[in-house]
Structure 1
């Protein structure tokens, strides 16, 4: 993403975020380098940097001397300038982690709780937030990022069935989270959070365009385009688990039949035939899995597909191993430099990405549109009401 500042007088908060995001994205650099990248004067950048240093977000040091004169001062993010909490709730339970501004996970905790009710989940969240805050009891906590299974706000599909949080429809999630944590809250589909985690801190860090396929209780995915998740009109893009894989196949709680996640998901794996080994299950679902891979490739033309999720790493690795032989799609190129499918074996990508949501939500550049009486209001599924 190209970040550009503005010289409008009322835009100082925006410019502070621009400078901070520039350093977070591109690493240590001088005031002059920042000014050139974001289109601000060196004097403006110097003023902003002084404020950010005083607030503890930045650290400065000198480059190694390369001749006469004083070497330039370089600026870097202060890892301990702030912390964020990542939270995720799945049909398996609740997890939390504390992350610093450098993306290091300082500690995590979790509670098994099959198909938690909202009451159970928020009680566990309160316990876990207190537990992970203890890793840096005196630290500045910027906010909470929360990841949960989607899709959101979809008739007959949201919060229905064993692969999502059955019974959560109508719950004011954002309000309850802010009440329990006493912190600003930022929420996303778990696949988006995981894709952000992989993009920032995992296998997607060196790939600009990739599709992240999330093998969880269900199956979903997110296309990452130049580091930004493709969300769709209502934030539900990537629900590949509800593409029909087998016409007239197994019934799905969404009301359709033969949906992909009925065959390829942790729910499907846990309900495999009695006595069926993991290897036999992988062999059975391989044709369906490969068909899904080709569908994703033909729709999105990614550099690669990253398979991750909350499934154990051996299962993910076994599925990826089957893709050494794939049928033709638009990804069948002579000039490929990466495999068509790679594995993400870091099982905390969701928590990293959720925490990154909070860091970005508090610190990243954003300009709010000017409010007007005729401006349409957007539905906020997390507040059980309308967002401004």
Structure 2
């Protein structure tokens, strides 16, 4: 082993640059520090970002004028004038997060500190672009009225993927008809007039939010299995989302695997997904109940047929999780999304014993599979976080603060 091998270079701190052309990047750094620290002074921001105090001061004044930041008073630390402290304004502008799924539309208004200001989930009978755009405009208006019409600084929109992949895009329960060849971000900009619209895979956005505010907050490497209508995987590696070359990393739902107890191989999401659960519930409880209503009040502990479905779903999910562990060696795998929490808890219980993989270590600080914290709004909240901060910048700063 060479000296360089034994002492690999440390990850570089995310730092700013003073030229005017990098002002947006510098603002992102300052906003990331405010989110991480809660309250922080200008001198500390300058040390973290390696910007000059004057550059930080100019950015803070801009953010104060825009209502993004508020002054929190002064912090006395030793001699001299106490330092002015600043924080993000929890009642200021909002970021809008949208999840367009097969069967429903999730819309959230997220405050700058990550708090949920307003939310809605409404069914979508038609998921082609026209009806979706009409429903989205209506929900934005309703949530705006509910929250006093705050300024919207940007929107993140997430959808199940992948698109434009022959043999994959047109199959599976999460497929959205009529979106092939369309640019969702551009369409939404045109319809809503919101200038900043970002588009992401739903499972990746869910993993980002779980990393920022949920069960993955203290982790650098974990995987998030996202139960939308179908099944997706969000991957956080070294504190950053692993998106793949074209944003399609984590497309696990259509992997064809045999169950752990033997039997024919089938696409995993055909047996372990919200769509598969809906099919089971329609067969056992009647076809006339809406999809979202079907998920209300489910508890496998008091429902033997549902518990039997959970056991079968665990048999199909277990080999998939073993594959994920061997591929990515995560600290843990989190489960979350639209699937009701009592069902997820029962699913985790019946995954045991998990197959032997690289994660089968005795000395573990976390179980191999745990419940995520953020529930059915996870992907939309992750989408809302996208315009607030550059993901790479935020992740690098968070990584630096943990070391």
- Unaligned ranges ≥5, structure 1: 251-256, 366-388
Aligned twin of 1:379: none
Cα shift readout 1:286-328 (whole Å, capped 9, x = no counterpart): 2321111111111001111010111111211111122453222
Residues 7 and 329 of structure 1: CA distance in aligned 2, closer, same or farther (over 3 Å):
same
**Does the 8 Å contact 1:186/1:361 carry over to 2?**
no
For the Cα contact (< 8 Å) 2:225–2:232, is it kept in 1? yes
Contact 2:28 2:389 in 1 (8 A): no
180 and 287 in structure 1: CA distance in 2 versus 1, 3 angstrom threshold: same
64-73 or 104-113, which deviates more: 64-73
- Are the equivalent residues in 2 in contact too, given 1:164–1:217 (CA < 8 A)? no
Q: 1:143 to 1:11 in 2, by over 3 A?
A: closer
Q: Which runs of 5+ in 2 are unaligned?
A: 1-11, 285-303, 395-403
- The TM-score with structure 1 as length reference comes to 0.84
Pairing of 1:151-300 with structure 2 (within 5 A): 151-183=162-194, 184-246=196-258, 258-272=266-280, 274-275=283-284, 277-300=305-328
CA deviation after TM superposition for structure 1 residue 17, in Å: 2.5
Work out the CA distance in 2 between the residues paired with 1:199 and 1:67.
Answer: 35
Give, in angstroms, the shift of residue 99 of structure 1.
Answer: 1.0
Asked whether 1:57 is paired with 2:68, we answer yes
Per-residue CA distance 1:178-231 (angstroms, 9 max, x = gap): 122110211111111211221222222222211010122211101112332101
Aligned length: 359
**Retained in 2: the 8 A contact 1:32–1:42?**
yes
- CA 1:326 to 1:48, structure 2 compared with 1: closer, same or farther past 3 Å? same
Q: How does 1:31-110 map to 2 (within 5 A)?
A: 31-65=42-76, 69-110=80-121
Query: Hey, what's the Cα distance between the residues in 2 that align with 1:2 and 1:324?
Result: 40
| Cα deviation 1:111-135 (Å, max 9, x = unaligned) | 2124522221111111111111123
RMSD between superposed Cα atoms in Å: 2.6
For 1:159 and 1:179, locate their aligned partners in 2 and report how far apart those are by CA, in whole Å. Answer: 26
Structure with a larger share of its residues in helix: 2
8 Å contact from structure 2 (residues 313, 347) kept in 1 = no
CA contact (8 A) 1:110 1:128 kept: no
CA distance in 2, matches of 1:47, 1:162: 50
- What's the secondary structure of 2:150's corresponding residue? coil
Instruction: Report the 3-state secondary structure (helix = DSSP H, G, I; strand = E; otherwise coil) of the residue aligned with 1:33.
Output: helix
- Once the two structures are TM-superposed, the CA of residue 268 in structure 1 deviates from its matched residue by 2.0
Alpha-carbon distance, 1:267 to partner: 2.0
Q: Quick one: distance in 2 between partners of 1:107 and 1:189?
A: 22
Counterparts of residues 295-374 of structure 1 (less than 5 Å): 295-344=323-372, 346-360=375-389
Aligned pair in 2 of structure 1 residues 139, 361: CA closer, same or farther (>3 Å)?
A: farther
Change (3 A) 1:64 1:311: same
Q: What's the TM-score, normalizing by structure 2?
A: 0.82
Q: In 1, distance between residues paired with 2:263 and 2:167? A: 19
Larger deviation, residues 29-38 vs 229-238 = 29-38
Task: Report the secondary structure of 2:256's partner residue.
Answer: coil
Cα deviation for residue 161 of structure 1 reads 4.0
